[in-house]
Chains A and B, each alone.
Chain A
Amino acid sequence: MNKNNMPLAIAEILVLGGIVLAFIVPLVIKTG
């Protein structure tokens, strides 16, 4: 985590968190 760079830290959470979410989201949300 880039503690001295808040905009980058937010982007990091969005991207790395988003990628993890992309892996697990079909298991959590059933859209079909």
Chain B
Amino acid sequence: MARSQPYQPLLLRILHGVVALVALGAVITSYWVYDLFDGRWLKLSLPNVNGMIGIHGTFGLTLLLIMPLFAVYAFYIGHKRLVQPDSFTKSLQFNKPISAYSFHRIVNTLMLIAVTWALITGRLMQEKWLPSGDLDIIWYSLHLSSWVLLLLCLLAHIVMGLKVGGQRLMLSMVALKVRPDDTPSMWWQKFKAWQNQRGQK
């Protein structure tokens, strides 16, 4: 029997897709900025693009504006995909499949924290520091740490996604198919139903 394709809610796909694209843009342009002005640990000598700091800042600001929506969705509607009270103990049961699922949920949560850390430290950066060679400022070091953390979490997020759901899960996050009961016109109705359900708990 053919396995059915997992279905992801449209709002999750939209928010996750936009956040992922903007965050990826921020990660790539941040490396570019590092390569142009710093390069102490690794240097690829990327071409000098005028205003690269501004481009990175635009990605960062866009991420700051859309992240609240995604975070509220993740913690209030999609919380089952995030860390659970027993996630830490179950993630250590390596001989059971629940281990990977639990670890995936922990990683999903860490991903949100890593993005937030990048946003906070990025907001403390000043555009003039790197062109003037001020590389030892603490806020810049913290922002660099957020880049490493974000990259590690992104890698774990993809690896664990592939492990628990394989290619099907990955494709379901970018699928264009929409169920009739999941169109934007139905969202308000679903939101009210979800609110009632929460009120009864």
A-to-B contact residues, CB < 8 Å: 2, 4-8, 11-12, 14-16, 18-19, 21-23, 25-26, 29, 31-32
Contact = CB atoms under 8 A, between A and B. Distances in A.
Given A14-B113, A15-B112, A22 B123 contact: yes
Contact of B83 (A7, A25, A29): A7
Contacts, number: 71
A4 B82 contact: no
Contacts of B123: 22-23, 25-26
Contact of B119 (A2, A22, A29): A22
A12 B85 contact: no
B119 A7 contact: no
Interface stretch (B35-43, B45-53, B67-75, B152-160): B67-75
Contacts of B117: 18
A6 B85 contact: yes
Contacts of B84: 5, 7-8
